[in-house]
């Protein structure tokens, strides 16, 4: 059963996992429904996701856009 997160008061949106595997590679999905990857391991996908979130928050703070900035997808892992 889903429950409200801090700051949420009414409708609880359907939530799924952020990370998924496809063709033996790992990916992460953003709330904008963009898939990023492939990454060789889930750990690498998790690290790249944290970097993505940090970049989004930093740019939003600088631009004062409370959630409207979508950066380019991370570069493909080597």
DSSP, residue by residue, the chain = ---PPTT--S-------SEEEETTEEEEE-TTS-EEEEESSHHHHHHHHHHHHHHHHHHHHHHT-TT---PPPPPPP-
Q: What digits encode the pLDDT tens for the residues 28-76?
A: 999 888 999 999 999 999 999 999 999 988 888 888 755 555 666 666 6
* Domain positions in the chain: 19-63
Q: What digits encode the pLDDT tens for the residues 5-24?
A: 566 666 655 556 899 999 99
CB distance 18 to 28 below 8 Å? yes
- Nearest by Cα to 21 from 46, 4, 2, 3: 46
Residue identified by tokens 């990916």 is: 27
Look up the pTM and report it. 0.62
């Amino acid at each position: 059963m889903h429950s409200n997160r801090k700051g949420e008061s009414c409708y609880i949106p359907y939530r799924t996992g952020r990370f998924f595997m496809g063709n033996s590679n790992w990916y992460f999905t953003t709330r904008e429904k963009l898939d990023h990857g492939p990454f060789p391991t889930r750990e690498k996908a998790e690290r790249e996701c944290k970097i993505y979130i940090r970049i989004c928050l930093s740019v939003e703070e600088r631009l004062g856009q409370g959630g409207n900035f979508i950066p380019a997808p991370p570069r493909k892992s080597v």
